[in-house]
Structure 1
Amino acid sequence: MIIMITMITLGLTGFTGPQNAIAAWGDSVSSMPGNFTHLAAEARPGVVNIRTVKTVRDGGRVFQHFFGQPFRGQDPFRDFFGPFFGEGPAREFKQRSLGSGFIIDRHGYIVTNNHVIKDADQIKVKLANEKEFDAEVVGRDPNTDLALIKISVSEDLTPLKLGNSDKLAVGSWVVAIGSPFGLEQTVTAGIVSAKGR
């Protein structure tokens, strides 16, 4: 899920004693947001659902694509049964995947994860208003697992504003909005537990 971050600094300071600790904690609790409904409603039009289809050729090894090679290149099953059954015919099948993304430009540029669109034959983007579009890959970076895709639209879209990660601090509130496992427009919140990982 692509994460949209909102930084709500709690302003916790060093504790010098029990009374100061209680006062500092009490102040920060009162400054915590009551809920994230406004943020979720505001961000909703900028969050998209992405569906992809790609053709996978398995070379007769249907499950290896999903599970890799658990025996580090050796295959005891194939070693034992291979001489009796052979390799089997190469097969093709369609693999479907789901992901999330967010609009960064009113003309249809969308950021998503590279693993969502990698080797896809078809990319479909569904907006919050339920409209669907075909997308094309503009660029991708496997090292950061980010990709830029574009949809052609006749109307202006609502982009989300990118934040500055340098301003993020351990303990800052973060909100994630996306479509994990196809559950569209899911919202969750938490805090930054660590940086630089």
Structure 2
Amino acid sequence: MVTLYEALGVREDASDDEIKRAYRKAAMRAHPDRNKGREAAAHDAFQEIKQAYAILSDGEQRRVYDAVFAQEMSRLRDDEERQARERAECEAQAQRERYEKFVAIAMRYAERGYKRDVVFGVLLGRGCDEALAARIAHGVAALSASRASAPPAGNMSKGRREPDASAESAAPTAPPQTAEAEPASHAGLFSTLWHGMFGIRP
């Protein structure tokens, strides 16, 4: 949007003399007689310059214009700031959702026994940024290692029969599943990972 001041080529705090001199220069430059071959465009520009000068050369009209212009500029700035905040919030929300999705994927693969490098490769294959994939894979691997080294809950209970190791080793191992659904039994691990490793809430 071109302001009246811009139409004359002067600053908003220009004096009356500066406005008058700028009007004469702009009018001569845009006069149709000086713009052969583009008379129609020159005529429109010339009319805009005349209108700008008619308002800015009148003290009362200029004060009204300045007040309305300042109010409109303030509204536009507020709108731009609001739109910028909304865009930033949308972008942040999208980043959080992508982050949470990649963490969930990494956890599923780690819980199935896959090591850090495999988890890292899976994340890259899903479109995760390399640096972020490395951080998530490292965090999941560290958490899995800490869980593996912790004593299982309930091992100190009296009278509880330990499982037969030979029978356990003879049991067939189910192949890793590819389903995307997260097992409900991993909810505690999922929450621990979010709070302890990544600092966000699931």
Q: Structure 2 length as normaliser, TM-score?
A: 0.21
More helix by share: 2
Q: Which has the higher Rg, Structure 1 or Structure 2?
A: 2
Higher strand share goes to which structure?
Answer: 1
Between 1 and 2, higher relative CO (CA 8 Å, sep ≥ 6) is seen in 1
